Amino acid sequence: AMNNDFNSAQAIADLNEAASLINTWNDKQNKQAAILEHTLNRFKEMLQTFLFDVFGLKDDTSNNNADALNSVMNLVIDIRKDARAKKDFTTSDLIRDGLKAAGIQLKDGKEGTSWEVE
């Protein structure tokens, strides 16, 4: 999906597949540190590829890129919210940590989750 510029539907499907794989891994209670580190690094790579290579986002994002980033972040926040509702804190933390590694800080508050680029 990443080789086909702006194939957003496929890219989002790939992100959902990644979340599904993470959930499958979590369901098996396989908590080996090496696998967690590998998964976190892979998630970081996918997120960076999706945000920066596919959408071409930079620090000086245009309105179109800002809209695309907002859409992607809303999707990621919704996936994390769903994981938290299911008490799947491993996945929730993995998403938060992966975003932080990519330079995006999540902030949980009374009115929901917000984010900012660090």
- Angle, helices 89-101 vs 63-85, to 10°: value is 160
pLDDT per residue over 3-19, tens digit each? Answer: 555 667 777 777 778 78
At 107 the pLDDT is 92
At 61 the pLDDT is 46
29, part of any domain = yes
Q: Structurally, how many domains does the chain consist of?
A: 1
Average pLDDT, the chain: 78
Q: How many CA atoms lie within 13 A of 60 on its CB side?
A: 0
Beta strands in the chain (DSSP E): 104-109, 112-117
3, part of any domain = no
Q: Which of 43, 44, 53 is nearest to 1 (CA)?
A: 53
pLDDT class for 59, splitting at 50, 70, 90? Answer: very low
Pure H helices in the chain: 8-27, 33-48, 63-85, 89-101
Q: What is the mean pLDDT of residues 42-55?
A: 76
Tokens representing 47 are 């997120």
Q: Which residue range forms the structural domain that includes residue 108? A: 8-117
2, part of any domain = no
